[in-house]
């Protein structure tokens, strides 16, 4: 065991460190994390417009009229349906800080290039604009590429001193604006050239090119059963060696899963069939009850069924965080980390709960998560109800029972061993 642990730590720690220190992944991560609160708020308005409660729609119609849902759809459209805008701000700001350039100019230049590359539409009244899907979930990967490349190019110009220099007496805000003129001009010339060239191809727009060549293949992989099994298992497995799996995996997978959530949300809003079983809410609310490894059952066993004082005390300390899907007290306190009795059930629980949740969703018993982007700390049962109605709540209850049964044999071994150790010290 020691040799395996040493080998894993030797090879995984450098990878984890590089991923955490990578400024490009960090910028993407910060962009999504930074916009999380506003996206959650917007998703909640969509939920209010579609609460799965009998008689709710009729009650709201009697108060606000037959078009009452419009009031809730506006906040949703101005958050989830333009999510790329919010993500861009966080990404550009984070990367600008890492590259040590002015973040305001980095954000402005990124917006300019993104808007040039996005297709425009004209209605019958000849009013021109950008379609919401272009700056929503469908445009997220174009936004990521544009922002990272634009900010990097801006930093190159600044560091190479290819800029308009102003006298020292000029205020910094004015000087920074002139600093961005040359890189901004070049960036926009490149953007309009790309737009012209792509318009001559079968893709028609840059958005169409990115969607077909990059975004759709990535989403297809990220939403597949096989990829989900591999990713979730790796996340739990490396956690058993004390390396925070969710932090590593989420930096890569969260942009994909959140995009899948947004596409489900758009379909739900439009009354269409929801396209993706796998998304951020499926991950957080059906695969991680109590935290990674679906440890809520283990927390309940420790708190209410342990004979060992040590484990019972730890269980009581862990039960409240577990209700909010935080299980570090169990992982490092019980511990699960480097514990040969609990490592395997913890890692393989991901395969069990993914397979079960995926199966009952695929046969239609459990509704696909509706795209409501609730916080990962939303307690089970409530979470299931919010994203899949009453059947989601029932499935969460069943999962809690299954989690108890899954961990029970291993819990008994740990409890007996710890109790024996306690009695030997008396």
Looking at residue 9, its pLDDT comes to 57
Token digits of residue 207: 């958005």
Kind and range of the H or E element at 129? strand 128-130
The model's pLDDT over 231-246, given as tens digits with 9 standing for 90+, comes to 999 999 988 877 777 8
| Phi then psi dihedrals of residue 120, to 5 deg | -105, 155
Looking at residue 130, its pLDDT comes to 84
With contact defined as beta carbons under 8 Å apart, do 363 and 370 qualify?
no
10 Å CB burial of residue 275 (0-12, 13-18, 19+) is middle
User: Among candidates 344, 254, 253, 245, which has minimal Cα distance to 292?
Assistant: 245
Looking at residue 52, its pLDDT comes to 66
Looking at residue 4, its pLDDT comes to 57
Q: What is the pTM of this model?
A: 0.76
The model's pLDDT over 39-97, given as tens digits with 9 standing for 90+, comes to 888 877 877 777 767 778 788 888 888 888 888 888 888 888 888 999 999 999 999 99
Residue numbers in the chain where pLDDT is lower than 70: 1-13, 15-17, 19-20, 52, 166, 168-170, 172-174, 176, 251, 426
Looking at residue 91, its pLDDT comes to 94
Token digits of residue 260: 């899948």
Alpha helices for 134-243 (secondary structure H):
140-159, 172-179, 181-199, 206-210, 216-222, 225-239
CA dist., res. 260 & res. 364, Å (int) = 19
Query: SS3 of 78, please?
Result: coil
User: Among candidates 426, 377, 381, 419, which has minimal Cα distance to 399?
Assistant: 381
Round to the nearest angstrom and report the end-to-end CA distance of the chain: 31
């Amino acid at each position: 065991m020691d040799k395996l642990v040493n080998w894993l730590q030797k090879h995984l720690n450098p990878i984890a460190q590089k991923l955490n220190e990578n400024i490009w992944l960090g910028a993407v991560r910060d962009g999504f994390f930074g916009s999380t609160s506003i996206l959650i708020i917007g998703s909640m308005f969509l939920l209010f417009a579609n609460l799965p409660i009998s008689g709710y729609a009729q009650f709201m119609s009697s108060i606000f009229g037959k078009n009452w849902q419009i009031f809730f759809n506006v906040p949703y459209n101005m958050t989830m349906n333009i999510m790329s805008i919010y993500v861009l701000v966080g990404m550009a700001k984070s990367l600008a800080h890492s590259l040590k350039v002015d973040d305001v100019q980095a954000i402005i230049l990124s917006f300019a290039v993104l808007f040039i590359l996005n297709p425009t539409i004209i209605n019958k009244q000849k009013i021109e604009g950008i379609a919401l899907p272009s700056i929503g979930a469908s445009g997220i990967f174009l936004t990521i590429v544009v922002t990272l490349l634009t900010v990097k190019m801006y930093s190159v110009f600044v560091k190479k001193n290819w800029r308009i220099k102003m006298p020292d007496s000029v205020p910094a805000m004015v000087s920074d604006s002139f600093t961005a003129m040359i890189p901004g001009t070049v960036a926009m010339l490149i953007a309009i050239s790309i737009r012209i060239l792509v318009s001559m191809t079968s893709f028609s727009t840059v958005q169409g090119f990115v969607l077909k060549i990059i975004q759709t293949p990535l989403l297809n992989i990220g939403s597949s059963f096989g990829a989900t099994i591999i990713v979730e298992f790796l996340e739990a497995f490396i956690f058993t060696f004390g390396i925070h799996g969710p932090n590593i995996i989420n930096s890569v997978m969260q942009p994909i899963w959140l995009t899948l959530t947004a596409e489900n949300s758009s379909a739900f809003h439009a009354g269409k069939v929801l396209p993706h079983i796998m998304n951020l809410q499926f991950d957080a609310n059906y695969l991680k009850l109590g935290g990674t490894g679906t440890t809520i059952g283990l927390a309940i066993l420790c708190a209410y069924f342990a004979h060992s004082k040590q484990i019972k005390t730890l269980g009581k300390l862990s039960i409240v965080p577990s209700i909010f899907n935080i299980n570090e007290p169990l992982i490092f306190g019980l511990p699960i980390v480097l514990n040969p009795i609990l490592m395997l059930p913890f890692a393989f629980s991901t395969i069990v709960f993914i397979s079960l949740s995926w199966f009952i969703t695929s046969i239609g018993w459990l509704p696909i998560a509706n795209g409501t982007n609730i916080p990962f700390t939303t307690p089970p049962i409530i979470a299931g109800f919010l994203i899949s109605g009453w059947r989601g709540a029932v499935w969460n209850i069943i999962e809690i029972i299954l989690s108890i049964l899954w961990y029970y044999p291993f819990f008994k071994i740990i409890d007996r061993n710890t109790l024996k150790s306690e009695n030997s010290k008396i």
